[in-house]
Amino acid sequence: MDELAKPPSKFNTALYALISTPIYLAVMIWLEGGWGATLAKPMPAGALLVTLIAGIISCFSDGNLSMGVKHDEADKRSLYALIVLNLLGGLLPAFFDGRGLWPIDGEPVRQAGLVVYTLGTIARMVPVFVLGNRFSGLVAIQPGHTLVTTGVYCKVRNPSYLGLVLMNFGWAMAFNAWAGVLCAVLMIPPLIARINAEERMLASQFGDEFAAWKARTWRLIPWVY
C-alpha cells in the first residue's frame, strides 16, 4: 500500500485533539473576556464544556486525514473555505459577545443555541465512530472501503455535515452573535460543494449500490433536502 494511503495512527489523531482543544478553548475564553466573563454566561460556558468533552471523546476515534487509495484533489478549495469559515464562526461569536456587539438578544436564544450545538456535536461525532478509519477529513476512498447505509445513515447520507451545520448555528446562538449566524450561512455553499464531490466519488466507486441508497435517503435534512 502507498504510504500516503495509510491513515494516521490513532496516537497522532489523539495528540492533535489533546493539543488543539485546550488552545481553542483558551482563545474562546480570552475573546469572551476571561474566566469571570465566561462563567457569568452559562450558555457560552456550557458550549465550551461540550467542546471539551467532544475533544476528549474524539481522542478515541479513528478519524483521519488520509488520502486513501483515491481522493478528489479539487475538493481542497471547499475544504480550505470550510476551515476558514469554521474558525471565524468560532472566534467571532465569542469576540462579539464579549463586547456586546451585534447581539441576537434574549436568554432563550442562548438556551436554544446550547441545545442545538450539543445535538449538532453528537450528530457530528457519531459518524466518525461508525465509519472508523474510513472517516477522512478529505474526500477519499480508503483501503477496503465499504458503503454504510444503516444506522445513522439510513435516512441521511451526510449526518456528519448536518451536525456541522447545527453546531455552527447553535454556537452562534449560544454566544448571542449575529456574526456567527452570518459565518454559518456562508459555510453552506462550500459545504454543498464538498457534498457534491463526495457523492460523485461514492457514485463512481459503488455504482448501483450508491444509486439505490441515494434513492431512499435525503442528502442533509430528512424530508427537506
Q: What is the value of pTM for the model shown?
A: 0.91
Alpha-carbon span 148 to 133, nearest angstrom: 13
213 Ramachandran zone, left/alpha/beta (phi>0; psi -120 to 50): alpha
Q: What is the pLDDT of residue 19?
A: 85
pLDDT at res. 12: 59
Residue 4: the pLDDT is: 44
Amino acid identity of 137? G
Give me the residue label for grid cell 477496503.
144
> Are 134 and 160 contacting, i.e. CB atoms less than 8 angstroms apart?
no
Q: Which of 181, 53, 158, 159 is nearest to 112 (CA)?
A: 181
Q: Which domains are assigned to the chain?
A: 3-215 (1.20.120.1630)
pLDDT at residue 140, as a whole number: 81
Which of 197, 191, 161 has the alpha carbon at shortest distance from 81? 191
SS3 223: coil
DSSP assignment of 111-157: HHHHHHHHHHHHHHHHHHHHHGGG-BSSSEEPTT-----SGGGTTBS
Q: What is the pLDDT of residue 11?
A: 52
pLDDT at 158: 96
Per-residue model confidence as pLDDT tens for the chain (225 residues)? 344 445 445 555 667 778 889 999 999 999 999 999 999 999 999 999 999 999 999 888 887 777 777 777 777 788 899 999 999 999 999 999 999 999 998 899 999 999 999 999 999 999 999 988 888 787 888 888 889 999 999 999 999 999 999 999 999 999 999 999 999 999 999 999 999 999 999 999 999 999 999 999 999 999 999
Helix (H) or strand (E) holding 70: strand 70-71
Say how far apart CA 65 and CA 8 lie, in whole Å: 7
